[in-house]
Amino acid sequence: MLADVFILAFLGLQSFWVAGAIAAYQTKTLTRAQMARAGIKKGMPYLWHVGMWSDVYSIHPYLALMTAVLWWRWSAYPKPLWVFLFLISLGLGRIAQRSWSSNKDIIESHNGIEFHPGGEPTATGNPSLVGWVHVPHIAAIITLFVMTLVSWILGDLPWRLVIAGLFMLAGHGLAGTHWLLRSLNPVWNPWPADKHAEMKGALNVVCTTMGYFFILCNFLAT
């Protein structure tokens, strides 16, 4: 594994998170206090986005590791292939973000907000600046996961690292349901209480732990 490749890939993926945080600050949706000052009484700020934090502690490290492990193969692939795959992923990312932002009942950092003089702000149903930053972020993640799958099909990736990736994806999906907020149900929680929130949270922790367990097993076995 190339340590420098891992570091560069990890920092590159993390930069999307940082760009999103900067965009959230500019749109007054980074923190709960910032949203309150903007007149938003109920909603989800960027720093409450559990799925985005899952990127930081599971998806980004895993994909950076795959980039380092498979760099010897990926660096030999023609660059137009990478560009084509990224453009396809960019289209998928745009579709996904527009779909997620279409819910006008929930105000969050990824959704556009319309301010009304003397009235309470409402969601526009379109992506905010944060949402548009998330589009290439999604595209980068899809691209690296697809290339990881291709490498497994070609026999270039140990099965333990494939299992680790499946656990990380499952855990990320559970984190994306914002189980923590649903469980705590604070005043600003834009969702009603979820009776399955604690179970989703436990499964999120278990899946992420198992993902790192299989990564550790892979390197102990080599």
26: in domain: yes
Alpha helices in 105-196 (DSSP H): 129-153, 159-175, 179-184
205: in domain: no
Residue 159: CA atoms inside 13 Å, Cβ hemisphere, count?
A: 0
**Residue written as token pair 């930081």:** 56
Domain count of the fold of the chain: 1
Q: In the prediction, which pLDDT does 185 show? A: 64
Q: In the prediction, which pLDDT does 177 show? A: 81
Six token digits for residue 147 = 């290339």
Q: What is the span of the domain harbouring residue 64?
A: 3-157
| Secondary structure element (H or E) that encloses residue 51, with its range | helix 50-54
How would you class 88 by CB atoms within 10 Å of its CB: exposed for 0-12, middle for 13-18, buried for 19 or more? middle
Enumerate the β-bridge partners of residue 127. 111
Percentage of the chain modeled with pLDDT above 70: 95
Q: What is the pLDDT of residues 56-72, one digit of tens each?
A: 999 999 999 999 999 99
Q: In the prediction, which pLDDT does 15 show? A: 98
Question: pTM for the whole thing?
Answer: 0.92
| pLDDT band for position 1 (cuts 50, 70, 90) | low
Enumerate the β-bridge partners of residue 114. 122
* Average pLDDT value for the chain: 91
How far is it, in rounded angstroms, from Cα 102 to Cα 98?
Answer: 6
Q: In the prediction, which pLDDT does 103 show? A: 77
8-state DSSP, 121: -
47: in domain: yes
Residue 20's alpha-carbon distances to 61, 146, 158, in angstroms, are 18, 23, 33
116: in domain: yes
199: in domain: no
166: in domain: no
How far is it, in rounded angstroms, from Cα 55 to Cα 76?
Answer: 27
| pLDDT band for position 100 (cuts 50, 70, 90) | confident
Enumerate the β-bridge partners of residue 158. none
Q: What is the pLDDT of residues 193-206, one digit of tens each?
A: 677 888 888 999 99
| pLDDT band for position 23 (cuts 50, 70, 90) | very high
59: in domain: yes
85: in domain: yes
Q: What is the pLDDT of residues 137-183, one digit of tens each?
A: 999 999 999 999 999 999 999 999 999 999 999 999 988 888 777 77
